[in-house]
Amino acid sequence: MKLYDYVLSPSCYKARLMAALTGVKLDIRPVDFHPGAEHRGPELMALNPAGSIPILEDGDLVLTESSAMLVYLAAKAAPQWLGNDTALQAARVQQWLSFSHRLTGSLGAARLHEMLLRPGDIATLHGQGIAALRELEAGLVEQHIRGQRFLASDRPTIADVACFPYVALAPDGGVSLDPYPAIRLWSRAIRSLEGFIEMPGIHRLHELKPEPVLEAGEA
């Protein structure tokens, strides 16, 4: 199974992290995304006409959407990550998978603007990113009230892997995670999972601080 990968891409990191957590070995094919723009070259455009990465190849199968890669890797190696125990849990997983695209379009776009000088209205991107973080924080507080540490269940699912990278990298785009104790507790829970791997740029700043405490009624 081959992953066309850029080490600083949060979307590529999702696939690497999912593979590590489920014990899947990937053949990593590095892509010169910046400054080389290799993803726009003829070889990779033939695989993915959208001109984006990651790209996952497994035999004749070619996947170009990170959420589909998470589903595929989990289904092949560790189906419990799909969170299909109940209809409610399956729906929550799908809800957060869809939500993860908003993180990409806001926090991810702000990061590209700040780090690679990509065009964008940074004030608007910050506002959208903060709105998404507030929604995520509220969802995690609700889960905390239910006695569950993760987004869709009492155990991690592909929903957590889909949302984690762009949230953890929010400070790169100028959005602080300090106001969100539930998100910081959730990030610690993900980092503590067996098989967790790091990505350059994801800092342990909040792990060096006292553990956040959720107050009653906090959202």
DSSP 8-state secondary structure symbol assigned to residue 212: P
CATH number of 2-79: 3.40.30.10
pLDDT of amino acid 209? 61
pLDDT of amino acid 205? 54
- Would you say the C-alpha torsion 118, 183, 78, 193 has a positive or negative sign? positive
Task: Say which residue, 209 or 156, is predicted with more confidence.
Answer: 156
Is residue 173 a contact partner of residue 179, using CB atoms and an 8 Å limit?
no
pTM: 0.90
pLDDT band at residue 219 under the 50/70/90 scheme: very low
pLDDT of amino acid 44? 92
pLDDT band at residue 35 under the 50/70/90 scheme: confident
How wide is the angle at C-alpha 192 spanned by C-alphas 1 and 176, nearest 5°?
95
Residues 6 or more apart in contact with residue 193 via CB below 8 angstroms: 21, 156
Domain range summary for the chain, segments of one domain joined by +:
2-79, 83-208
CATH topology of domain 83-208: Glutathione S-transferase Yfyf (Class Pi); Chain A, domain 2 (1.20.1050)
Which H or E run includes 2? strand 2-5
pLDDT at 67 exceeding the cut of 90: yes
pLDDT digit string (tens) for 117-157?
888 999 999 999 999 999 999 999 999 999 999 999 999 99
pLDDT digit string (tens) for 181-208?
999 999 999 999 999 998 876 665 555 5
Q: Which residue type does 184 have?
A: R
Tokens describing residue 51 = 């001109």
pLDDT of amino acid 71? 97
Tokens describing residue 217 = 């009624």
Q: Determine the average pLDDT of the residues in 42-63.
A: 95
